[in-house]
Amino acid sequence: MSDLGGSSSGSGQDSSTEELRGFGVGTRSVSGRIVRIGKQPPLIEGRNSGEASEGNDSAQVDSAFGDSDSIEFEGRDALRSRLSEMLEVVGIELETLGQNAPSEVADILEAQAMMAQDPTLVDRLLANVEPDPMVDAKCQLQRRNLRAAFEKVAAELRSVGGYIGERADDIGEIGARVADHLFGSADSQAIDEPNVNSILLFDQLTAAQASTLEPSSIIGVIVATGGPSGHAALILRSLDIPAVVGCPRAYEIPDGAVVLLDPLRGLVRIGANGRVPTSAHRPTVGHRSPRSVLATKAVQLLANVGSLADAQEARSQGAEGIGLVRTEFLFEGRELEPSVDEQVSTYRSLIEPFCETGQPVTVRTLDVGSDKPLPFVNLSREDNPALGVRGIRLVNQVPGLLERQLEALARTRALVGGVDLRVMAPMISSIGEVNSFVEMARSAGLGSLGIMIEVPALALDFRRVAPLVDFASIGTNDLMQYLMGVDRNASMLGELLDPWSPVALRLIGALAREGARAKVAVSVCGEAASDPLLAIVLVGLGITSLSMTPVALAQVREVLDAVSMTRARRLAQLAIRQLDSTAARHVVGEAI
C-alpha cells in the first residue's frame, strides 16, 4: 500500500503532525509512546526494502550480521545433527506457544511446528547452505550463510505459489528462531518484558512474537512490513490489540515519540498532542443507530471456519451462521481419502451447533491442487498451480472424489434437522462448469447450491450464471490475484492486491447488482470482509452477507452498527470514484 507522508490536514491536528499510512487492524484509536523492538536484519532478495538486486544479497546480510557470528563444526555430519536438534527445539517451542492460544493462532503455530520438525527440511537446508571449509574436514557456519539457506528454501516455496507459496514466510520465521538458538538472540527480536502503555514498533513481526504480546500492557503495535491478511495481523486482531501493519516509513518514528494510532483509517500520526492514556480509547465511529445496516437486517455477519474448533469459536463470537467451511481440513495429511461415513460424522459435528436457530452453514467443496498435494489425489506437479487443476477442475482428474463428498453432505443434511445447509463449488470458470456442478449436486439430493466467484471470466458472465444458482460468494483473495495478474504471495506487489482497489470495488458492485436482479444473494467471504471500514463499503455496494475470521466479527459488528444503509451507499460511491486503493481507503476513513 502506498504511503502518504506529509503534514496532516485533518481538523484539530497540529500543523506539525505528520501522517504515515498502512493497513489497519482493529477499530480502537490509541495514543502512546513508541518503544522500538529490535532491528530485523534485511532479508535477501529485497524482501524488506524492495531495492535488493542480484549480486548484492551477500552484502546485505553481511552488513546486518558481520562475519563474527560463526560456529565451527567437525564436519557436515555434525552440522546436520546440530541443525536437526535446533529445528526440533524450535518445533517444541512453537507447539508450546500454541497450546494456550486462540484456535486460529494455534493453527498457525502448529503448522510452523510441523514444518520445523519435517525431516526433509534439514536436507533442503544443507543443499543450500554454504559453510566455510576449514582444515581437517572441519567447517564453519556463519549466521549469514544460515539465513541465506533458509531464504533460498523460502524462495523455492514462493516459486511454487498457492498454498505452498504461502508457507514461505513460515520458513523465514523458523529460520530466525533457529539462528537465535545457534548464535544468540538477534533475528527474532525477542520481547523481554511488557512495556506498559506503550505502542511497540517492529520492523517485522513474526507469528510467534505476536502470540506472546500481552494486551493488558501493550496498547498498540506498528509494523513496517506485512499486510492485513498476514499472520501477525490475524493474531493482533485475535488479541484485540490495535495496530497498523505494512507501514513502510515506520522507521522514521523516533523511539519515545508520542503517536496517535488510528487503525480504522490505517493512520499513524507522529507528534500527536496529548498524554499517554492509561487505557485504550473506545472506537470513534459513532453510537449505535436504530437505522444501522445491522438493525435493518441489511447484512448478515457470518464466519469462515476450517476446523471444528473454528466453528465453536464462531458460535461464541456471535456469528449468524457460517459463510465458508473450508473442507480441506478433513482431507489434508491423510494417506487415504476419508470415507463417506467419516465425512458425515465430521460435518454433523460442525453443523449441529447452528441447527437450533436455523442459521446458514455454507460448505465449500474440496479446493486442492498440486500446491496442496493429497497422497490419494494423483496430480502431476504444475509450474503455476494457482492456475492449474484445483477446485471444480478436479472432477475430471479424480473421478468420484466430488461425488462422494456431495453424498456425505446430502446424508448429513438428512440426519440433521433444521439446518440451512448450503453447498458451493470453488474455481468455477464457465457456465458449463456451473451446470455440471448443479446437476451433480441435485442428483445427490442437495438443495441450496452456489458458486465461488474467483475467476474474472465468471464474474463477467454472471448475468447469465446468476439464474442457475441459489447464491454466490465472492472470494476476494483469489479474485484479486486473477483480476490484477499478481501472485498473492508476491509481497513486493501487495499494493496491487489491495481489495480497496476502485476497479475491484466496481466489479463487486456490478456482481451485487446482477445478483439483486436475479434475486440471488451475493456475499463476500475473503479477507476483505474482515476489514471494518471496507465492510461499510461492501454493504453499500449491495453485498448481503460478510463472512470473516471469527475474531473479526466483534469489530465489524461495532462499526456496522453505527452506520446507516444510506450512509454506507454514499461511502461506497465515494470509494469507487477514487483513482487508487490508497485514495479510496483515505477518503472513506476521513468521511467516517
Active-site annotation holds for 231: yes
9's enclosing H/E stretch is none
Q: How far apart are CA 156 and CA 120, in angstroms?
A: 14
Is the CB of residue 469 less than 8 Å from the CB of residue 442? Answer: no
Cell of 518: 436475479
What separation in angstroms does the CA of 284 have from each of 79, 177, 303, 510, 558? 55, 39, 25, 31, 10
In angstroms, the CA 233 to CA 249 distance is: 18
CA-closest candidate to residue 40, choices 158, 209, 266: 209
Three cell numbers at 190?
525477542
DSSP string, 33-84: EEEE---PPPPGGGTTTS---TT-HHHHHHHHH-S--EEEESSHHHHHHHHH
- Who's near 571: CB < 8 A, 6+ residues apart? 536, 537, 540, 563, 588, 591, 592
Write down the catalytic residue from 139, 231, 247, 586: 231
Q: What SS3 string covers 462-493?
A: HHHHHHHCCEEEECHHHHHHHHHCCCCCCHHH
* 28/281 Cα distance (integer angstroms): 6
Q: Which of 139, 247, 525, 586 is catalytic?
A: 525
135 grid coordinates? 582444515
Amino acid at 234: L
Residue pair 134/257 in contact (Cβ under 8 Å)? The answer is no
C-alpha cell read off for 156: 523455492
- The Cα 153–Cα 144 span in angstroms is 14
Cα angle, residue 148 at apex, residues 142 and 149 outer, rounded to 5°: 95
Cell numbers for 385: 498451480
Residue 360's beta-bridge partner residues?
420
Phi-psi region of 531 (alpha: psi -120 to 50; beta: other; left: phi over 0): beta
With CA atoms as reference, report the closest residue to 151 among 132, 171, 131: 171
Active centre residues (catalytic): 231, 525
